[in-house]
Amino acid sequence: MVVDDHPMWRDAVGRDLESAGLELVATAADGPSAVARARATRPDVLVLDLNLPGLDGVGVTAAVTASLPDTRVLILSASGEQQHVLDAVKGGASGYLVKSASSDELLAAVRAVAAGETVFTPGLAGLVLGEYGRQDADGPRLTERETEILRLVAKGLGSKQIAERLVLSHRTVQNHTQNTLRKLQLHNRAQLVRYAMERGLAD
């Protein structure tokens, strides 16, 4: 599903997705319509602008992720402002691209988000991660390896990329990620990213 208040941009993104073989189930031009149509069509991925009339993209993200936990939200915004990225991720977004991204980058991001990965325009994740405070002293105890993998997840790397960087098997990385989710009582990688941002785990 594609949500943008500019008809030409909305149509262009929809065409790009359909031409790549993806099914476009709905579009919307404002926040309230976006929430209603998402609940009606239950898309796998919601490609969402931040600047919307009626309800902004962060509000739409929060409403959709609360009622449709299987729908992933990918923000596609003209803004690369640090606070906007942070607000979107805290609202539950699984990814954030700026509109200067190419069609190929957008398609790759949609597929990655649909597969449960997190995606950021290069450079944005590091900016956001630097904003947050220290890890809770009395929080759940993660092993050094779990913390290392959590930092890389927070930077938007997928399991295969993490496995290559740390010279581990793909299965090992997935096992560590699942262990971390269980310890932190979280449910998906987007929540892991949010946890890491809130605790400054990229210092």
Tens digit of each residue's pLDDT, the chain (203 residues): 999 999 999 999 999 999 999 999 999 999 999 999 999 999 999 999 999 999 999 999 999 988 998 899 999 988 767 777 778 887 888 888 888 888 998 999 999 899 888 887 766 655 545 443 333 444 567 778 888 888 888 888 888 999 999 998 988 888 888 888 877 777 788 888 888 877 777 54
Q: 51 and 5 in contact (C-beta within 8 Å)? A: yes
- Give bridge partners of residue 46 from the DSSP assignment: 73
Rounded to two decimals, the pTM is 0.65
The domain limits of the chain are 2-121, 132-198
CATH topology of domain 132-198: Arc Repressor Mutant, subunit A (1.10.10)
* CATH superfamily of domain region 2-121: Response regulator (3.40.50.2300)
CA distance 159 to 149: 9
Q: 28 and 3 in contact (C-beta within 8 Å)? A: yes
